Amino acid sequence: MLPRLAWRNLWRQRTRTLILISAVTFSYALLLVAMGVGDDSHQQMLDAAVEGAGGDVLVHRDGYWSTLAADLVLPDGLAVAERARGVEGVAEAIPRIRLPALVSTADGARAVDLLAVDPLVEEALVDIHEHLVEGERLDATALESPILLGIRMAEDLETEVGGRVVLTASGWDGELTRALFRVAGFLETGIREVDETLAYTTLQAAWGALGDSATVTQVGVLVQEGTDVEVLAEALREGLGRDGVPVEVLTWRQAVPEMVGFIETDDAFLYIYAAVMFVVVAFAIANTFLVAVTERVREFGLLNALGLRGRRIGVLVLVETAVLTLVAVGVGFAIALAGHLAIDHWGIPIAIWGMEDMELAGVNISDMVMRSQITTSKWIVATVAVMVTTVGSAVFAAVKAARLVPAEAMRFYE
């Protein structure tokens, strides 16, 4: 009976109820959409960071990641990758060499972050030829010691496809090594910093230059869908740490702490704003119900005289709020869902705010298009929090209504 009574009571003051519902609906839908867009951009940033780091789980010589020191290597990297592939939950293990180096031509020298990879294996993480604008693929070229260069660097060095460049780097033993490479092609990502420093070569070519045939600096591990990264990392530690050189196994959380730190901070700010917004909404609701109770003193008095106990009158007020909240949350959810679908479908390019390239946590992000994604647990928590806040804000009014004395209430005149 109470819900029906509550429903009727709500619509007796239509404008007021609609205003209240719209306030809750609006802020609730806004919160959900903000979470959806935030989670999606965070995911994109994280993906970019993980891609830049080299995999979901990274295997290095112990101490490598914090120093990127070229002497901390995995001397038998291919075997490490092979053993990692045998661990359950591993989708692919990608051996690669990261080498800070100088690339020089007659026109100058440029510092590069050289990545030596097996292009076919690397494809499991990223297609390095995606940004190839001129020349040939590393796995298709007939050139000996091929190298792909960022287009801005190539322009600065005034080199052309097929041209020669000299690579200078410190070898595994710390001795400076110089080697001749042939330019196979140019890469253009559109991000200035990347196009100035990017260079790819094959593992074979790098080994040729460094006089070696198995050493890598990193094995990037990709996990199969549904695998717990922490558990897998532990299994890899077990499987790889036993013999040979000491290794470090890092999950992406440990590998890109800066990005994780940014995302957690950004989320925290969203929650602070959401909390204050709902304090404002809660004040409005508390107010409305307080007024409603005063206004309906006679009505409550009558109900009381008819035998409805004080407590049940209090419950009636709470049920009214609950019904109002349900309607607001229902409508808000529908609006948020529509917003989510629309944003996810069309996307919002951040370029419309005049932002093109940005650097975040050491990762260069360009031309990001914000879409939306639903994190079920977060949406549930937000919904419950909104419902508790709105219903909770009517408690004061409910207590007041419950304490009315029937005889006095009936005598009350406006």
- Considering only residues 285-304, where is the footprint of another protein by CB under 8 A? 286-288, 290-291, 294-295
Nearest distance in Å: CB 400, another protein: 9
With contacts defined by CB under 8 A, name the span among 14-22, 131-139, 212-220, 231-239 that binds another protein: 14-22
- Residue 52 host element (H or E): helix 14-53
Q: Which is nearer to another protein, 206 or 240 (CB)?
A: 206
| Position 329 contacts another protein (CB under 8 A) | no
Amino acid, single-letter form, for residue 67: T
Say how many residues touch another protein, by CB under 8 A. 71
Find tokens 């925290």 and name the residue: 268
Alpha-carbon torsion angle 348, 353, 359, 365, nearest 10: 30
Pairing of strands 357-360, 146-150: unpaired
182-199 residues labelled b (16+ CB within 10 A) or e (exposed): bbbbbbbbebeebbbbbb
With contacts defined by CB under 8 A, name the span among 240-248, 273-281, 305-313, 373-381 that binds another protein: 273-281
- What is the distance between the alpha carbons of residues 382 and 303, in angstroms, rounded to a whole number? 36
CB 154 within 8 A of CB 200: no
| Position 359 contacts another protein (CB under 8 A) | yes
3-class secondary-structure state, position 85: helix
Nearest distance in Å: CB 107, another protein: 8
Site for another protein in 95-114 (CB under 8 A): 100-102, 104, 106, 108-113
| Position 349 contacts another protein (CB under 8 A) | no
Q: Which of 176, 243, 345, 377 binds another protein (CB under 8 A)?
A: 176
Which of 365, 277, 285, 353 lies closest to 324 in space, CA to CA? 285
Find tokens 């045998």 and name the residue: 86
Q: Which is nearer to another protein, 20 or 115 (CB)?
A: 20
| Position 262 contacts another protein (CB under 8 A) | yes
Site for another protein in 181-240 (CB under 8 A): none
DSSP string of 96-124, one letter each residue: EEEEEEEEEETTEEEEEEEEEE-HHHHTT
Residues 6+ apart with CB under 8 A from 117: 94, 96, 97, 128, 200, 201, 202, 203
| Position 168 contacts another protein (CB under 8 A) | yes
Q: Binding marks (x or -) toward another protein, 108..147, rule CB under 8 A?
A: xxxxxx----------------------------------
285: region left, alpha or beta (phi > 0 left; psi from -120 to 50 alpha):
alpha
Nearest distance in Å: CB 156, another protein: 6
Nearest distance in Å: CB 122, another protein: 22
Nearest distance in Å: CB 77, another protein: 17
Site for another protein in 59-88 (CB under 8 A): 66-72
Q: Which of 58, 93, 169, 336 binds another protein (CB under 8 A)?
A: 169
Nearest distance in Å: CB 29, another protein: 11
With contacts defined by CB under 8 A, name the span among 122-130, 257-265, 301-309, 317-325 that binds another protein: 257-265
